[in-house]
């Protein structure tokens, strides 16, 4: 595969980077990334992955767009209210870059359908908003051997970590199982915060695909947006991890 004249202009800034270059751009165009959720995190992640020329973007989301989503879920517009989020996300991302094909899955990711959905993708972005889904993605990606970027946000706080199953610390090395979901109405998140975390997730996918730099593995990045403080905490593989421990169990 070689870049067309227009692609050489479209991706000119990537082509100037020795870490990416034409070979990296061709890898991006051939890459398949799965977004699980196209809300606060999935919107910016999808925007940047589409803009970067990722060839196939899978989007798993069964939700219909609600007014309360619009404060942060920037792949969707007011005119999309009442539509399936995968429909508006597909229109948005494909309009940004026709090199990016979007395949929507109008279903919730479950233990039963995850192997089928994950199968054709190279990298998974966990852009979900609940603990059950995050543990499900960790388990399914481990079983399928798929690298993934975890992120979570609450109120003014966020965290993210990249996992290469079998090689680096996994989500269950950090957290054994889902805590009780907080009672009462949702707390935020503040707008723009998911933009920071989702953009980091997209960048981790781009780095994984092109093989440049050092991934956010065996490290948890936390963001306190109220104080605007970022921290990186070392994370070790837990030998007793119920998912990736040795021996497992």
Residues that bind Zn ion in the complex, under the rule CB under 5 A: 170, 172-173, 241, 243-244
- Rounded CA-CA distance 108/85 in Å is 12
Compute the least distance from the CB of residue 64 to Zn ion, in Å: 35
Closest to Zn ion by CB, 150 vs 172, is 172
Closest to Zn ion by CB, 132 vs 176, is 176
Compute the least distance from the CB of residue 84 to Zn ion, in Å: 34
Closest to Zn ion by CB, 27 vs 150, is 150
Long-range contacts of 238-241 (CB under 8 A, 24+ apart): 238/169, 238/172, 238/173, 238/174, 241/170, 241/172, 241/173
Compute the least distance from the CB of residue 232 to Zn ion, in Å: 19
Closest to Zn ion by CB, 118 vs 209, is 118
- Rounded CA-CA distance 57/64 in Å is 19
- Residue with the CB atom nearest Zn ion in the bound state: 241
Exposure string of 104-117, with b = 16+ CB inside 10 Å and e = fewer, is bbeebbeeeebeeb
Closest to Zn ion by CB, 173 vs 206, is 173
Q: Which tokens in the block code for residue 235?
A: 């994370």
Compute the least distance from the CB of residue 173 to Zn ion, in Å: 3
């Amino acid at each position: 595969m070689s870049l067309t004249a227009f692609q050489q202009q479209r991706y000119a800034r990537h082509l100037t980077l020795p870490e990416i270059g034409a070979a990296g751009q061709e890898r991006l165009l051939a890459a398949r990334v799965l977004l699980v959720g196209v809300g606060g995190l999935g919107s910016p992640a999808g925007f940047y992955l589409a803009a970067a020329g990722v060839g196939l973007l899978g989007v798993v989301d069964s939700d219909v767009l609600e007014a309360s989503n619009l404060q942060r879920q920037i792949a969707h517009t007011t005119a999309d209210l009442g539509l399936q989020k995968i429909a508006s996300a597909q229109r948005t991302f494909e309009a940004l870059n026709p090199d990016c094909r979007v395949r929507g899955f109008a279903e919730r990711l479950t233990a039963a359908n995850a192997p089928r959905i994950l199968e054709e993708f190279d990298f998974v972005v966990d852009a979900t908003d609940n603990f059950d889904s995050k543990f499900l993605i960790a388990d399914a990606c481990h079983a399928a051997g798929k690298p993934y970027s975890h992120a979570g946000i609450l109120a003014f706080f966020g965290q993210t970590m990249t996992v290469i199953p079998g090689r680096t610390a996994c989500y269950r090395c950090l957290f054994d199982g889902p805590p009780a979901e907080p009672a009462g109405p949702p707390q935020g998140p503040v707008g723009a915060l998911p933009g920071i975390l989702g953009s980091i997730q997209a960048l981790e996918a781009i780095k994984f695909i092109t093989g440049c730099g050092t991934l956010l593995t065996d490290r948890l990045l936390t963001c306190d947006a109220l104080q605007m403080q970022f921290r990186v905490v070392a994370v070790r593989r837990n030998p007793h991890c119920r998912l990736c421990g040795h021996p497992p169990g």
